[in-house]
């Protein structure tokens, strides 16, 4: 158990809909990262937050957005969903978000868009 | 454009023997490398890391070797145990204004045969 929690575990929705994925980091970690793992691609970095502020951006679509709240939990919002958005979404956390730290991953949310 | 490549999608090794997983990268700015292990229905679990100033790091049965001139790293597991059967991802990061963007390989599925 990494100490990172993600809800929900599974999500099934329809194209065009909007969903919110939630992540609670390990106790004491200030930085949160979001990743997408689809079948034909490996883990793709989406976005990083540190203490409520966006820190780094990866291959995140404009239809996706994220935020980190004062209690340090984070939410990833996916809107206008397409079939290709079906994937595993992982959240990870680290203490300070600096480049040589280890990231600890949650169990993931499996999203299926029908 | 895959900056981190794991060219072997799968590897099968006899229990007790050495498992060697390989990873190549193209970005010479990467200076921190990590290996993660992933079981089905779980998030990636951190195994071991290495900074670019080192060429070897050891932790119990796991050793990571880094060859910067060849842009190659490898993970050695010895002796291999049935519980090591999982998908192994290598990841790389570079300092990016203090932030960390991990780039993952596609993964290698390791199977340890009794």
**Residue in B with minimal Cα distance to A1:** B45
Q: Does A30 touch chain B (CB under 8 A)?
A: no
Provide mean pLDDT across the span B32-59: 93
Chain B positions in Cβ-Cβ contact with residue A45 (cut-off 8 Å): 101-104
- Which residue does chain A place closest to B52, by CA atoms? A100
Confidence (pLDDT) at A39: 75
Confidence of residue B2 (pLDDT cuts 50, 70, 90): confident
**What would the two tokens of residue A42 be?**
């490996």
List of chain B residues whose C-beta atoms are within 8 Å of the C-beta of residue A103: 34, 46, 100, 102
Mean residue pLDDT of chain A comes to: 93
Place of tokens 């292990």: B37
Question: CB of A52 within 8 Å of any CB in chain B?
Answer: no
Q: What is the pLDDT of residue A40?
A: 67
Among A35, A43, A53, the residue to mutate for chain B (most B Cβ within 10 A): A43
* Section A47-68 average pLDDT: 93
Note the helical H segments in B1-114: none
Assess whether pLDDT exceeds 90 at residue B98.
no
Which of these, A30, A62, A57, A32, lies nearest to A46 by C-alpha position? A57
* Among B residues 42-61, those touching chain A with beta carbons less than 8 Å apart: 42-46, 49, 51
CA distance A96 to A100: 10
What is the pLDDT averaged over residues B35-40? 93
Reported as type and span, the H/E element at residue B5 is strand B4-5
∠ CA(B64), CA(B70), CA(B74), 5° rounding?
A: 20
Task: Give me the pLDDT at residue B112, please.
Answer: 97
CA distances from B84 to A62, B12, B36, B58 (A): 39, 11, 12, 17
Work out the average pLDDT over B81-107. Answer: 88
A89 touches chain B (CB under 8 A): no
Percent of chain A with pLDDT over 90: 82
- Percentage of the residues of chain B whose pLDDT score is greater than 70: 96
Q: Which of A89, A102, A97 is nearest to A72 (CA)?
A: A97
**Beta carbons of B44 and A43 less than 8 Å apart:** yes
Q: Which of A12-16, A43-47, B69-73, B76-80 has the lowest mean pLDDT?
A: A43-47
B42-to-B12, B52, B97, B101 alpha-carbon distances in Å: 21, 29, 31, 21
């Amino acid at each position: 158990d990494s100490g990172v929690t993600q809800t929900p575990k599974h999500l099934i929705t329809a194209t065009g809909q909007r969903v919110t994925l939630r992540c609670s980091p390990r106790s004491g970690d200030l930085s949160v990262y979001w990743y997408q793992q689809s079948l034909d691609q490996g883990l793709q970095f989406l976005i990083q937050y540190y203490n409520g502020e966006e820190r780094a951006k990866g291959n995140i679509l404009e239809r996706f957005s994220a935020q980190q709240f004062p209690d340090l939990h984070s939410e990833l919002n996916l809107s206008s969903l397409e079939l290709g958005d079906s994937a595993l979404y992982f959240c990870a956390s680290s203490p300070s978000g600096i480049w040589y730290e280890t990231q600890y991953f949650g169990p993931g949310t499996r999203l299926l868009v029908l | 454009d895959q900056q981190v490549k794991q060219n072997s999608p799968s590897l099968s090794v006899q229990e007790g023997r050495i498992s060697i997983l390989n990873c190549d990268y193209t970005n010479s700015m990467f200076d921190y490398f990590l290996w993660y292990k992933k079981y089905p229905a779980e998030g990636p679990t951190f195994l071991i890391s290495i900074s670019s100033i080192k060429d070897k790091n050891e932790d119990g049965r796991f050793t990571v070797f880094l060859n910067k001139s060849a842009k190659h790293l490898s993970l050695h597991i010895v002796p291999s145990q049935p519980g090591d059967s999982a998908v192994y991802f290598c990841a790389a990061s570079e300092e990016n204004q203090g932030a960390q963007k991990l780039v993952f390989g596609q993964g290698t599925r390791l199977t340890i045969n009794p």
